[in-house]
Amino acid sequence: MIQAILDAVSLGGVYALAALGLGLVFGVMRLVNFAHAELITVASYTLVMTHQFPLVVSMVLSVVVASLMALLMELLAYRRLRGSNPATMLIVSFGVSVLLQKIYELVFGALPRSASVATGLTGTFTVGGVSITTASVVTIVLAVVILLAMGYLIERTKLGLQLRAAASDFQTARLLGVRSNRLIASAFVISGALAAVVAFVNVVGNPQVDPRFGLDITILALVGIVVGGMNSLRGSALGGFIVGAVLSLLNVILGNGRVYAYSWMFVIVIVILLVRPGGILSKFATKERV
Amino acid sequence: MSRAFEAAEISKSFGALQVLDNVSITVNAGESVGLLGPNGAGKSTLINIIAGYEKQDAGLVTLDGTPLDEYAPHVRAHMGVARTFQAGRLFPQLTVAENVALGALGLGLSRKIARQRSEHVLEVLGITDLEGIQAGGLSHGSARLVGLARALAAQPKYLIMDEPAAGLNEHEVPALLSALSKVREETGCGMLLVEHNVGLVAQACSRVVVLAAGSMIFDGDPQAALNDEGVKSAYLGDAAFGGGH
């Protein structure tokens, strides 16, 4: 039972990080960046391809690569689409996603690449007679540390305040003089760094990286930001956590019926959205747009 | 070079509807100008053009002699033009203090200076008690005051206010007038006040411009406007002048 709770918190934390990365970009651009999946994937490939390096070096490289790729996405694809119809931006993000998947396929092959990353985290230890996986504890600690750091960045810094304002109403933030290029680029870079953290946790648990490696978690993180409230960064993180934790608990509770875990989770999501259509933290929805 | 914010010979049409016809308005540094007119007179279109939200068909907007037509609203904000909105347009999930600080942060100032400015303008407007409240929970009148505080935190050279007194009670309006006067004296900020409250404009402004059906029908002393027959017939009517609103 303890392990099940730890797993739920652990998976919830990972999805919270993924959702926060998506929420940051959505906040400043109203872009649902489906290609966030490919940021997770490229960070995962980086970890696998550099597994022979010291772990810290490998992790730093994955953060750098994912952040750079996020920045390139913004500069080459999304910058020209600012202010476009959200549907147009979504379709372009699908295009970027598919294009990158094919590039990964050409570069790394269609079959999974694997390597043992952070092997020290794959064991178990016993506390009070209860066997606990090291990975779940490390994941929780990592997610908590990153979320606290993000919390500090978002709540206590100038950049964070501007990001929160932009997430609430980007147009008004811009009218106040907020430098949109810098703010959006920052959001993409942070989003890439968060994708790298998510990649690390996932690769430790499943070091079989293929071109679609980041897809599932991104789709569920997207569900998370809708559940939490798309206009709120806190909502994005909370929604991601709920989706991850619920999915993990459903897998335990349903036992042999775990194949229906996704179905039940979406039932829960639908109920939440029926009660709060704007998401859990949608209390103060912006009512006026110019 | 004159220190003034000027819109000269502005014309604007939406399709076949001419909303502004050769309208000119000047706000000198440190001056407070009222912009009056009935609904549909073209006031909102004019301030949207001045602040850069809409583009005029003809005419020129200048800031201290510099043409502004090529500059977007956020660039104009950096150049010293701030505006408030009828609905406040606050960030509902942020506190009042954070909302106000953003007026200064947007211009690239440090968080520390922005916080100091936020505290100062909240004090000047007499709303320090709202500081920690989430803006989404404010009353309509308070939201307008906070919107004004945010604009003032940018310490603009020129401030465009869109009905700042709407929703304020009889105690809050004099306090607002006093605060605006204090800000003008402290900073030399030129102010353009768009209002329906004629009494307020008469008290707050040294000059008033009246629009009717897209044309400027008066530019001069507020008291003279109150007695101008053309203004009366076009805009307020005798009863409204007698009542001050």
Query: pLDDT tens digit string along B143-192?
Result: 989 999 999 999 999 999 998 888 888 888 888 888 899 889 988 999 99
- According to DSSP, the β-strands at B81-83 and B66-67 are unpaired
> Does the distance separating the beta carbons of A179 and B89 come in below 8 Å?
no
DSSP A110: S
ipTM of the complex: 0.81
Instruction: Judge whether B178 lies within some domain.
Output: no
Nearest to B187 by CA among B51, B69, B31, B76: B31
Q: B230 vs chain A: nearest CA distance in angstroms?
A: 34
**B107 touching chain A per CB within 8 A:** yes
B51 and B163, same domain (yes or no) = yes
Inter-chain CB pairs, A–B, below 8 Å: 76
**B92 touching chain A per CB within 8 A:** yes
Q: In what order do the strands lie in the sheet with B215-220?
A: B81-83, B158-162, B190-194, B32-36, B207-212, B215-220
Instruction: Judge whether B139 lies within some domain.
Output: yes
**A285 touching chain B per CB within 8 A:** yes
Q: Over 50: is that where the pLDDT of A287 sits?
A: no
Q: B102 vs chain A: nearest CA distance in angstroms?
A: 7
CA distance B117 to B154: 8
Nearest to A16 by CA among A194, A149, A175, A168: A194
Instruction: Judge whether B179 lies within some domain.
Output: no
- The answer to whether the beta carbons of residues B151 and B84 sit under 8 Å apart is yes
pLDDT attached to residue B20? 95
Q: B151 vs chain A: nearest CA distance in angstroms?
A: 8
Question: How many Cα atoms within 13 Å fall on the side-chain side of residue A156?
Answer: 6
Q: List, for residues A51-66, the tens digit of each pLDDT value.
A: 999 999 999 999 999 9
- According to DSSP, the β-strands at B190-194 and B32-36 are parallel
DSSP B68: -
Q: Which domain holds residue B6?
A: 1-80+158-168+187-245
B55 and B163, same domain (yes or no) = yes
Closest Cβ–Cβ partner in A158, A164, A179 for B93: A164
B40 and B2, same domain (yes or no) = yes
Q: Which residues pair with B33 in a beta bridge?
A: B192, B207
B92 and B76, same domain (yes or no) = no
> Does the distance separating the beta carbons of B137 and A162 come in below 8 Å?
no
Return the CATH architecture of domain A2-275.
Orthogonal Bundle (1.10)
Nearest to A81 by CA among B75, A98, A73: A73
CA distance A134 to A166: 38
Instruction: Judge whether B181 lies within some domain.
Output: no
B162 and B234, same domain (yes or no) = yes
B162 and B64, same domain (yes or no) = yes
How many domains does chain B fold into?
2
pLDDT attached to residue B40? 83
CA distance A39 to A16: 16
Q: Sort out which chain B residues have CB atoms less than 8 A from A231's CB and list them.
A: 93
Neighbours of A7 (CB within 10 A): 22
